[in-house]
Amino acid sequence: MRPLAGQRPVDTAGADPVEEDPALTNREPRESRSSQLLKGVLDMLLLALIAEQPRYGYEMVQELGRRGLELVSEGSIYPVLGRLEKAGLVEGSFEPSPQGPPRKYYHLRPEGWQVLQHWVDEWRRFARGVTAVLERCAVAGAEPAPAPGSEEPERSETPPPW
């Protein structure tokens, strides 16, 4: 029987689902995980940068890189900026450039400020929860809980990917 769209095929041979899913193995490049995390917050980060001062696209890429988010490219921010502009959260205006053609600077609108405040509050709550979970598993000397019916937890010399 073929799986429905979006469903994983049923493994009748008993293969390990972790081995089949690159998101759950150490074979996944670190950038891939980071880029997935970044996708979820890029709109908030762009609004935050624009709230500091009006900026043009490439300037935002450079600033995010200076702050440790080197994975961000121009190709990833322009669709997000377009959505933010369409939603009325930012407004773009072309301004002369010291060199080359005019640059499109993005300015935060009052609606954008309100949304940014909401997203920042939401992010802080989420980050506190994630931190609480990770701190409990990262306690010095902590070992994974044994699986039901097993005597000792498996020990791994490989540190977790985070």
Digit-coded pLDDT (tens) for 126-141: 999 999 988 877 665 5
Q: In what order do the strands lie in the sheet with 103-108?
A: 55-56, 103-108, 90-95
Between 148 and 141, the more confident residue is: 148
Instruction: Identify the residue whose tokens are 């992010």.
Output: 123
Kindly give the interhelix angle for 42-52 and 57-66, rounded to the nearest 10 degrees. Answer: 100
| 99 in a structural domain | yes
Question: Looking at residue 73, what is its pLDDT?
Answer: 93
How large is the average pLDDT for residues 36-61?
Answer: 96
Average pLDDT, the chain: 81
- Structural domains counted in the chain: 1
| 4 in a structural domain | no
Residues listed for the chain: 162
Q: 6: which DSSP letter?
A: T
| 125 in a structural domain | yes
Rounded-to-integer distance, Cα 119 and Cα 125, Å? 10
Between 89 and 9, the more confident residue is: 89
Question: Looking at residue 10, what is its pLDDT?
Answer: 41
Judged by average pLDDT, the poorest of 28-37, 40-49, 113-122 is: 28-37
**Domain span holding position 56:** 39-137
| 29 in a structural domain | no
How large is the average pLDDT for residues 18-28?
Answer: 52
State the CATH number of the domain containing residue 102: 1.10.10.10
Question: Looking at residue 139, what is its pLDDT?
Answer: 62
| 2 in a structural domain | no
Rounded-to-integer distance, Cα 120 and Cα 34, Å? 19
How large is the average pLDDT for residues 106-126?
Answer: 98
| 6 in a structural domain | no
How large is the average pLDDT for residues 19-25?
Answer: 53
Query: DSSP string spanning 49-93?
Result: HHHHS-EEHHHHHHHHHHTT-TT--HHHHHHHHHHHHHTTSEEEE
pTM: 0.70
b vs e for 101-118, b when ≥16 Cβ sit within 10 Å of the residue's Cβ?
A: eebebbebbeebeebbee
**Quick one: pLDDT band at residue 152, thresholds 50, 70, 90?**
low
**Quick one: pLDDT band at residue 9, thresholds 50, 70, 90?**
very low
Rounded-to-integer distance, Cα 38 and Cα 43, Å? 9
| 12 in a structural domain | no
| 122 in a structural domain | yes
